[in-house]
Structure 1
Amino acid sequence: MTMSYEQHLDEVTTLITEKYDVADDDAIAMVMRAQADDFFSGHDDDPSICTLDRAHADARTVFRQYGKAGGRLSAPGAG
């Protein structure tokens, strides 16, 4: 079963919070940074890859590439 692009992003965010014990705001920030870097551009072009299995793989990759200090990020504007 495939999801919409937006559902896929939501699922990736949820998986990051559940798998890596990351706060919602931090997971959202990671996904937004990945999206800004065009990490998900293929998903938007080909919605057939927006599956639960792919969401698990994307959550792992986004956490590894965009998480800091074990996935903990500062809130936007904090500093």
Structure 2
Amino acid sequence: MTYEEYLDEVTTLIFEKYDIPENEAVKIVMAAQDKEFFVRHDKSAKLRNIDQAHKDAKTLFEAAGVKLAAKPAANAAAKPAANPAAKPAAKPPVKSAKGPAKPSK
């Protein structure tokens, strides 16, 4: 595959395997390009294969994971907290059909 096809494949794998928005996957791959992560891939066609694409997608996703992992926590903070002062409803006492218990001897 060509260098451009390889970058597309890595981007698609990040998007599909790790369930992040496509534009975020593109940003991850572009940032990796800026840091010259793909220079070896450009020079060697042997590195542009589907197995390597899976490895690179995982590597890049994990490297970006710190920023991405912070998003769910921010969303969780926006949810209203449960009311700690609220008490659970009391259960009504259970009545026996046999009447009061007899003392044992």
TM range (shorter): 0.7 to 0.9
Quote the Cα distance in structure 2 between the aligned partners of 1:71 and 1:17: 18
CA deviations 1:1-47 (Å, max 9, x no partner) are xx111111000000001110010100000000001000000000111
Aligned-pair RMSD on alpha carbons? 1.5
The answer to whether the 8 Å contact 1:30/1:63 transfers is yes
Aligned match of 1:42: 40
Could you say which residue in structure 2 is the equivalent of 1:70? 69
Match of 2:50 among 49, 52, 63: 52
TM-score w.r.t. structure 2 length?
A: 0.62
Return 5+ residue gaps in structure 2 as ranges.
Answer: 72-105
Task: Provide the C-alpha distance between the structure 2 equivalents of 1:18 and 1:35, rounded to a whole number of angstroms.
Answer: 20
Q: For structure 1, which segment, 41-50 or 62-71, has the greater mean C-alpha deviation from structure 2 after superposition?
A: 62-71
- 1:49 Cα shift? 1.0
Q: Determine if contact 1:33/1:66 at 8 Å carries over to the other structure.
A: no
The number of residues matched between the two structures is 70
Structure 1 unaligned blocks of 5 or more? 73-79
Structure 1 moving runs of 4+ over 3 Å:
none
Structure with the greater relative contact order (CA < 8 A, sep ≥ 6): 1 or 2?
A: 1
Aligned 8 A contact 1:15 1:59 in 2: yes
Cα distance in structure 1, aligned partners of 2:25 and 2:47 = 21
